[in-house]
Chain A
Amino acid sequence: MRLIARFARENKDNFEIIDVFEQEIKKTQIDKKNPSVKTITDIYPAAIWMERKIKDEFGINFEDSFDERPLIKHEKFPKNIYPMRKNFTQKNIEFSEFEPYQYEEVKGEGVFYVPVGPIHAGIIEPGHFQFSQAGEDMLHIEVRHFYKYRAIEKMCENKTPLEIKKIVERISGNESIAYQICFFDILHQASEIEQSETYKRKTAILLEMERIINHLNDLGFIPNDTGFSPALAFMSQLAEDARRVLAKVTGHRFGFGAINEEMNYDFKPVFEFLNYLEEKMNFFENWIIDIPSLWDRFDTTGTLTKEKAVKYGVVGVGARSSGIKIDRRDNEWYKLHGFEIQLGKKGEVSDRFLQRIKEIKNSIEIIRNCKINNENKKIEFNYFKDGEYYSFTESSIGELFMYINIKNGLIDRFYVRDPSHINWQAFHTCIYKDIIADFPLINKSFDLSYAGNDL
């Protein structure tokens, strides 16, 4: 059973832990006076961050947990407050005394530590990597995040569903469309409106465009991290072309606000772009396959074994390139529109690189099958029924999960599990045969989000 998310919410009389598995949802009630529950990290290692986050935000204790360090509360963040509790309403808090964070470190003769970040050398989001090294060899790496923790979940509480639209669009800039699709799916559910065929096609086109743009960028950045910059020049141009097409159709280069009640778009520029894109992709593939020095670096690097990927519940490109069939598009509707699951074998950088080429080709196919007739019907959200709603979308990174609980017409709990939140945690399992200079390459081959993870 794959664990998708573990999160908490506060009810009037108790706390509640919600465990979302692939096949079922489990709820556990917890006493408010002595909030404590058993850990599930012994079976699901990816629950570690989820539990540490709950502990920081709600003050719920996890019995027998092997890792009780604060997660979102960094060195100077006050430790004695539980900001996701309903009675916490402060908007300003003061820094507290510096409390050092205990990193996971491998000890031994000749072992030394390389801390990297939170601010990195390139134009990239902040996060911290702590390497335990023996010479060039990486022995262990601890990924530490939440530098960008903006408290989005709290920000969304006590607002009407439509009021949080603009926030949802901007949780993670590169996955904006995927986030909007999840959110609109919940709006549909809560208003008891069925999604029309045209709506489904339009959102599918936009989602595949977002995927194409991100994959194109990665196809440039991954070779660039081996020192092969012509690929970056080639791909960054193509990504820019694609982004301009998206802007031409939706009015925004990242598609912020692209999913809305009207969506009165002319998709012609997208369809015209596909032929050009296909031609360029064919050229790129032929060209890049012929560069042996690249594959010297890609092959056998950053291996995420299938076994480890399953253990951590890895999703998205990371999972599929290790041969695991997880893709939220793996359903009748998408298959009817040309979706075919793409899989790699060994979970190496090379698999993840090729995976993106295969996925772009499949996205082209899907868009081609989403013919849009001129019918345009505005969606009328007349009411949002109170209740709990769950939604999934396959973003360019992987499975995105969103949960919204509406109470008295307002949002009572908003929770998101970005695909990165799972995949970051599996990171340390795939570095063992590699040297520190391989790290940027491995990191880029996963291309995970910091903003979506930190929220």
Chain B
Amino acid sequence: MLRFWKERFKRGIVTENIEIDKELETLRKNLKDKIKKLFAGSLGIRMVDSGSCNACETECNALSNPYYDLERLGIHFVASPRHADVLFVSGVMTMNMYHHVWDAYNQVPNPKWVITLGDCTKDLGIFEKTYAIKGIDLKVDYHIPGCPPTPKDIIKGLIEFLEKIETESKN
């Protein structure tokens, strides 16, 4: 155990203040406040894969690594759609996943939002329509492009999404 503590002190804190600080400084400052105001301090995301190549999920998992540490912003990936405010959807939406994704969507309590993740979810990205693909027909509130979007892209996308719904709630 001693070895571990030594390594820990040597390493220090690695969480990055990524460029969003520079690029979107004001947003970053407001982000926690926004989540506090709009989502009582915690924004729950349920991720559903509707037929992806798994790179989009891998990048969402990376958001929990010590560099990004998404939880510090009050954003959590939750285990059940019933705990979620936002449904993240990745992939092309296959025939075989279609009803399951809709099930998950229906289980998210109102008010709810859908964010699509990755080029697959919009016009199938580089893929082509086949008989096995249905395509996403949920009402999408925000789209994060990229193949896959990097963790930074996802954080930025989330911030812009919050901006958007805040403006909408004011109107």
Give chain A's interface residues, CB within 8 Å of chain B: 72, 74, 76-77, 81, 83, 88, 90-93, 95, 118-119, 121-126, 146-151, 154-155, 166-167, 170-174, 176, 217, 230, 233, 236-237, 239-240, 243, 253-254, 256, 283, 286-287, 290, 449-451
Contacts and interface: CB of A to CB of B under 8 A. Distances in A.
A174 B55 contact: yes
B14 interface: yes
A76 to B, nearest CB: 7
In the complex, the 9 A-B pairs of residues with the closest C-beta atoms, listed nearest first: A173-B55, A236-B65, A121-B79, A151-B132, A151-B130, A173-B53, A166-B126, A173-B54, A74-B96
B147 interface: yes
A230 B95 contact: no
Interface in B64-110: 64-67, 77, 79-80, 91-92, 94-100, 103-104
A167 B133 contact: no
Nearest to A221: B61
Given A171-B53, A236-B65, A150 B147 contact: no
Given A119-B104, A151-B131, A166-B126, 9 more contacts: A148-B51, A148-B94, A149-B51, A149-B94, A150-B127, A150-B133, A170-B125, A236-B64, A254-B55
A221 to B, nearest CB: 9
A410 to B, nearest CB: 15
B135 to A, nearest CB: 10
Interface of B: 1, 3-4, 7, 14, 47-49, 51-62, 64-67, 77, 79-80, 91-92, 94-100, 103-104, 125-133, 147-148, 150
Nearest to B53: A173
B14 A237 contact: yes
Secondary structure of the A side of the interface? loop
B87 to A, nearest CB: 11
Given A92-B131, A170-B127, A126 B97 contact: yes
B6 to A, nearest CB: 9
Contacts of B65: 233, 236-237, 239-240
B47 A256 contact: no
6 contacts: A72-B132, A92-B129, A121-B79, A148-B94, A174-B55, A287-B3
B131 A93 contact: yes
Contact of A125 (B52, B64, B79, B130): B52
A147 B52 contact: no
A243 B128 CA distance: 28
A194 B132 CA distance: 37
A287 B58 CA distance: 26
B118 to A, nearest CB: 10
Contact of A91 (B80, B99, B131): B131
B131 A148 contact: no
Interface centre among A93, A121, A173, A256 (most CB of B within 10 A): A173
Nearest to A283: B7
Nearest to B80: A121
A236 B66 contact: yes
Given A126-B97, A151-B132, A451 B52 contact: yes
Contacts of A171: 53
A126 B100 CA distance: 10
A421 to B, nearest CB: 15
